Amino acid sequence: MSIVGFFIIALIILCIFGPLILTAFNLINLFKKKKIKEDVIDILIFVFGILLSTILYKLMDFKDYTEQLYIGIDTAVHAPIASWSMPTVIGILMLGIISYILIKVRKIDLPPLIIVCSMSGIMICSIFMLILIIQTIKSLYTGFIITYLMIFPINYILCSIRAIIETMNYYKKKEKAVKEYNNKFLNKCNEILNNISTWPILAIIFAVPLSIILICILVLFGQRPDEAIQAFLETSDWTLSQKISPPPIEYDAHYLCTVSLRGHKELVKPTRMGIRHGKKIIVNRQLCIANAFEQLIEEKTPRLHHFIRNTYDKYGYPLSKHINTPVQADITYIIMKPLEWIFLAILYLFDKNPENRIAMQYTGKKCKTN
């Protein structure tokens, strides 16, 4: 095995088992008093988790609910988060990460107000992560990649719980003199802020104004005030989805002309919807010409049609199964062009109304399939 091959296999194994191992250590550190490489584990979880989640999300090539999926080409999965809500998602994630970093710096004596605000930021992000997990819970039986997208949100919640508990325990052990103010109101506020047992309650209260500040900032970037909620609702096929996407369209993957339609639209030029075996498919002129040619041959010379069909099924169908990318489909479309011209010439030579025959293909009106 070459070095490159070994490196690729090692990288795949790392991506598959790395997140699971880090999650196991994270869970152990949540309950164990003596932590196992806590700082290293946390850094790996955030760096590796965010990077892997981003890559996996891109690999899935999610489509918004407004877009029509094409069976056989797309992942046949709509996005769990609306693409136009991504600035809000990034904003909440940044708030959560910054808050987590602040609260984890236990060696620095942070003012109680900063600690409480950091806890609020962590809570806001954790709630968002929890909603994301609920949104993608059906991925447990949907697919491997989508299931792995849940790992970082789970780990963030575990890290957040541990960070808040450790921070409160750390400051409980520190004896700190409470500053006295002449104003009774300030004294009372200071007393509440320095009462560590009240921090979780204060964090919940402070989460409201912190959320309002974050929303105001995001509104300046064109986001709606309720974007964090609409991000999940304006989706299709997921737990919290409220939208209905257009029905998927099937790209027939059995023959070369139909496979070629997987190519780039600018080249293959799909023209309309068609019907094949009761299902909607995309058709273009090349496919209609090929199907019209076969129909003509079947009508005029059945024996020749039988020979051509058997030969095509024997060699064309296995070949079509290896055409899996748009570039390969483009090449197939170009290679089929000379045959398309030959088919068209035969149609014009032996059919009284060739264009009518071509136009009738895949309309569901007694047309035989290609």
Q: Are residues 100 and 220 in the same domain?
A: yes
* Tokens matching residue 344: 């068209």
pLDDT value at position 77?
78
If asked whether residues 116 and 260 sit together in one domain, one would say: no
Q: Is residue 181 part of a domain?
A: yes
Q: How far apart are CA 330 and CA 325, in angstroms?
A: 9
DSSP one-letter code for 63: B
At residue 142, the pLDDT reads 54
Pair 260, 208 in one domain: no
pLDDT at 252 > cutoff 60: no
Given pLDDT bands bounded at 50, 70 and 90, which one contains residue 89?
very high
Indicate if 270 and 135 belong to the same structural domain. Answer: no
Cα–Cα nearest to 368, from 318, 297, 317: 297
Average confidence score pLDDT of the chain: 81
| Cα 162–chain centre separation | 28
Residues 57 and 171 in one domain: yes
198 bridge partner residues: none
On whether both 24 and 59 belong to a single domain, the answer is: yes
Tell me, yes or no, whether 229 lies in a domain: yes
Output the CA torsion sign for 203, 206, 208, 214.
negative
Are 94 and 206 part of one and the same domain? yes
Residue 367 lies in a domain: no
- Residue 3: the pLDDT is 73
Q: Considering 233, 268, 300, which residue would you say is the last residue of a domain? A: 233
Q: Higher pLDDT residue, 366 or 88?
A: 88
Supply the pLDDT for residue 259.
Answer: 65
Say if residue 168 is in the same domain as residue 275.
Answer: no
Tell me 78's DSSP state.
Answer: B
Which range of residues forms the domain containing residue 63? 3-233
Most confident of 70-74, 141-145, 276-280: 276-280
Q: Find the range with the poorest average confidence among 12-21, 159-168, 215-224.
A: 12-21
In the block, residue with structure tokens 């909440």: 92
In this predicted model, which residue has the larger pLDDT, 290 or 2?
A: 290
Is the pTM higher than 0.75? The answer reads no
- Mean pLDDT confidence for 256-283: 75
Q: Mark whether 195 and 62 lie in a shared domain.
A: yes
CB atoms within 10 A of CB 168: 16
- Answer yes or no: do 318 and 354 share one domain: yes
Count of other CB atoms within 10 angstroms of residue 88: 25
Per-residue buried b or exposed e for 48-77, using 16+ beta carbons within 10 Å of the residue's own CB: bbeebbeebbeebebbbbeeebbebbbeeb
Residue 364 lies in a domain: no
Give rounded-to-5 percent helix, strand, coil for the chain: 65, 5, 30
168 within a domain of the structure (yes/no): yes
Average pLDDT over residues 137-158: 78
| Residue that is last in its domain, among 233, 264, 284 | 233
Least confident of 101-105, 273-277, 319-323: 319-323
Per-residue confidence (pLDDT) for residue 368, from 0 to 100: 47
Confidence of residue 336 (pLDDT cuts 50, 70, 90): confident
Residues 90 and 206 placed together within one structural domain of the fold: yes
Does residue 92 form part of some domain? yes
Domains contained in the chain, number: 2
Task: Tokens for 215, please give them.
Answer: 């929303």
Q: Of 233, 268, 296, which residue sits at a domain end? A: 233
d(CA 149, CA 9): 21
Q: Tell me how long the chain is.
A: 370
For residues 70 and 118, state if they share a domain. Answer: yes
Q: Using 50, 70 and 90 to split pLDDT, how confident is the model at 317?
A: low
Please compute Rg for the chain using Cα positions: 30
Amino acid at 123: M
Per-residue model confidence (pLDDT) at position 370: 45
**pLDDT tops 70 at residue 111:** yes
Q: Does the residue 290 lie in any domain?
A: yes
Opening angle at CA 258, ends 256 and 263, nearest 5: 90
DSSP code per residue over 194-225: T-GGGHHHHHHHHHHHHHHHHHHHHHHTT--T
pLDDT in tens, 179-189: 665 666 666 77
Q: Which residues fall within 8 angstroms of residue 185, CB to CB, at 6 or more apart?
A: none
Read off the pLDDT band of 367 (50, 70, 90): very low
138 within some domain: yes
Q: How many CB atoms lie within 10 A of CB 156?
A: 26
Distances (CA, A) of 81 to 175, 233, 304, 331: 46, 8, 54, 35
